Structure 1
Amino acid sequence: MVLVLLAGVGAGVINTIVGSGTLVTFPTLVAFGVPPVTATMSNAVGLVPGNITGSFGYRRELAGQARLVRTLVPASLVGSLIGAFLLLTLPEDAFITIVPVLIVLALVLVVVQPPLQRWLKARREAAGADAPSIEAMGSGRRALVLVTVLGCGVYGGYFAAAQGILLLALLGILLPQALQRVNALKNVLVLVVNVVSASTYIVVSTFGGGRHHLDWLAVGLVAAGSLIGGAVGAQVGRRLSPVLLRGCIVVLGLVALYTILGMG
């Protein structure tokens, strides 16, 4: 119980700063005997409090982005519903086959994030100013942004690991504005995905006839930890060693990969 609680704290911190906190909580839950699909569902519900505190902590960077948020939130919502539907309807064998691929993708994103962030920062500085509003963009670029957010929502609704990194990287390219402002937008969109997915899982667990269920002890422990971690991540998380943080994520991701492949 203590280890799951601490994993929730770590995931809350990591999700707020970087993304990929699921690579901390998911292998922890699976290691203690929680079935993979149940672990994914319980993890998504438990991480919502951390998403809320993390988004609130970045409220200053969200200033002036209300219209952009209102435009992108529906895409995250729809994508999350699609991803949750796939998780609940595809057989567990499909999950065990697909998730290792998603974990490898997540680990690659974790490893390449530092040079990617440096490139994005240089691109922002070269631009010299924030991007215009999404309404001022060309129709093709607006459509690309919406499709990107929708796709990340599907990914997040199905598994969630590193959806924040994926959003940060892609929106950083498509929306040439300050990286911290993109990070604040990322936190809100991830919050939407996780709230929608979590709500879906709760309804299915309650009224679905027992085919899928939540581990409420795991949910409570991860929720308590992520609530603390989200607040810490927004306030002091940037002082943590990024190398150490990234190294821990990679190690835990490899543990998750080994565990899932073992089940297959």
Structure 2
Amino acid sequence: MTTWDPSGLVYATLAAVAAGAINALAGGGTLISFPVLVAVGVPPVAANITNAVALCPGYFGATIAQLPNLKGQRAQLMLLIPIAVLGGLAGGMILLRTGERTFTALVPWMILAASLLLAVQEPVKKFVSKRLSNPSHKHHTAWFSALPIAAAAIYGGFFSAGMSVLLLAVLGLTLDDSLTRLNALKQVLAFSVNIAAAVFFLFSDQVVWGLAVVMAIGALIGGAIGGKLAGKLPPAVLRWVVVVAGIAIAILYWVKSN
């Protein structure tokens, strides 16, 4: 069993509220909640696992909100959901077989990578939208998405931050559809990856349940707050605040490890 400082319960809850709100507004909430879990004494692997389980309800809520945009995408869903699930399970298995020392060494690199993915989120959306509006681009089927989706899903099962940007980029490059519908498909695949990894983690004895439960509630509250604030706060500003914070956290990890 993983031990942690009970006094960190308040900090973890507040971090989950912030993560839920940030995910609803701009994305990148994991870059806030994961480092807080480590800071309150949870070992990095257990912190990553607990964070994935705790934020799972947020993925579910976002997926439900996208259901109207999934009409007519049955073929893509039937092919890509199983791939996302298997990739999420594979990423989770790799995580559990990664030693604490190795994962700790990877943490700053993963946080930096996630921060950079968040930084290019809007350019990726603009690129995908421009490509889809170009009448000369070639038609592809969902089979073109299978292998890169599997790679993105494995990454997401291992460390979920930045996964949504990867998924959208892959779908935009390999499928022909509107950005709205691709974004909905991306959300379902992200949920599939997260729920597959989270269910696998339930049997790992690495979930810190005291934190996971309150964080799940906090993430739902944060998501509701973020939904209320949507349109009132500029997502681009919030996104760059999270990006800068993520890069700073990565640097701190490097300094601490040297």
What band does the TM-score fall into relative to the shorter chain?
0.7 to 0.9
**Contact 1:54–1:231 (CA under 8 A) maintained in structure 2:** no
Q: Report matched runs for 1:90-105 at 5 Å.
A: 90-105=98-113
State the distance in 2 between where 1:70 and 1:238 align.
34
Q: Rate the CA distance shift 1:52–1:253 in 2: closer, same or farther, 3 A.
A: same
Gaps of 5+ in 2: 1-8
State the distance in 2 between where 1:58 and 1:242 align.
19
Match of 1:249 among 231, 239, 242: 242
Q: Is the aligned partner of 1:171 residue 2:179?
A: no
Q: Is the aligned partner of 1:71 residue 2:79?
A: yes
Q: Is the aligned partner of 1:220 residue 2:228?
A: no
**Contact 1:17–1:234 (CA under 8 A) maintained in structure 2:** yes
Q: Secondary structure at the match of 2:72?
A: coil
Q: Rate the CA distance shift 1:151–1:204 in 2: closer, same or farther, 3 A.
A: same
Q: Rate the CA distance shift 1:233–1:152 in 2: closer, same or farther, 3 A.
A: farther
Q: Is the aligned partner of 1:85 residue 2:86?
A: no
Q: Is the aligned partner of 1:196 residue 2:196?
A: yes
State the distance in 2 between where 1:61 and 1:175 align.
15
State the distance in 2 between where 1:230 and 1:132 align.
35
Task: Give the C-alpha shift of residue 19 in structure 1.
Answer: 4.0
Q: Rate the CA distance shift 1:55–1:128 in 2: closer, same or farther, 3 A.
A: farther
- Tell me the amino acid that sits aligned with residue 170 of structure 1: V
State the distance in 2 between where 1:231 and 1:56 align.
14
Task: Give the C-alpha shift of residue 239 in structure 1.
Answer: 5.0
- State the TM-score, normalizing by the size of structure 2: 0.85
Q: Is the aligned partner of 1:116 residue 2:96?
A: no
**Contact 2:17–2:221 (CA under 8 A) maintained in structure 1:** yes
Task: Give the C-alpha shift of residue 231 in structure 1.
Answer: 4.8
- Give 4+ residue runs of structure 1 displaced > 6 Å after superposition: none
1 or 2 for the larger relative contact order (CA 8 Å, sep ≥6)? 1
- Tell me the amino acid that sits aligned with residue 147 of structure 1: L
**Contact 1:26–1:256 (CA under 8 A) maintained in structure 2:** no
Find the counterpart in structure 2 of residue 139 from structure 1.
none
Find the counterpart in structure 1 of residue 157 from structure 2.
157
